[in-house]
A = this chain, B = another copy of it.
Amino acid sequence: MWQEIISPRFSDTDALGHINNTVFAVWFEGARQDVFKIFTPELNLRQWPLIIASVKLDYHAQTHYGADVEIRTYISRIGGSSFDVYQEAWQHGVKTVSGTAVLVQFDYAANKAVAISAEQKQQLNQHQYKA
């Protein structure tokens, strides 16, 4: 598991007085940075090796301004060239949001998927989600 602590910003709130639902797409992508580093240790933007296939977010409870949020990031599936990143947001001991992003190792120049190597699998496996 990777862990990131976020202090919600005022601009993350919406008129309902809680954190807007779209913000979790941003927070979760931010928290996938350590996953990115397995595929590009220098975070090389000129040869970015990943593309996103889908993202799912489930909202379990409201998340509020004024208290830290912990983002937990796991690997929940490893396929041939794609894999799933499962993430949770926790605040005050409550899991408020969870979600899964499907990422694909991708060669933008060749416009095709690239197989996940044994070494990459091993690194991903160290953060495996156990339900």
**Is B59 a contact partner of A56 (Cβ separation < 8 A)?**
no
Q: Report the nearest B residue to A20, measured CB to CB.
A: B11
In the bound complex, what is the Cα–Cα distance between A92 and B52 (angstroms)?
A: 21
Assuming the A-B contacts A54-B58, A57-B55, are A25 and B21 also in contact, with contact meaning beta carbons closer than 8 angstroms in the complex?
yes
Tally of chain A residues near chain B (CB < 8 A): 38
A window 21-66: CB within 8 A of B: 21-23, 25-26, 29-30, 32-33, 36, 42-43, 45-46, 48, 51-59, 65-66
What is A's interface to B at a CB cutoff of 8 Å? 7, 9-11, 13-18, 20-23, 25-26, 29-30, 32-33, 36, 42-43, 45-46, 48, 51-59, 65-66, 108
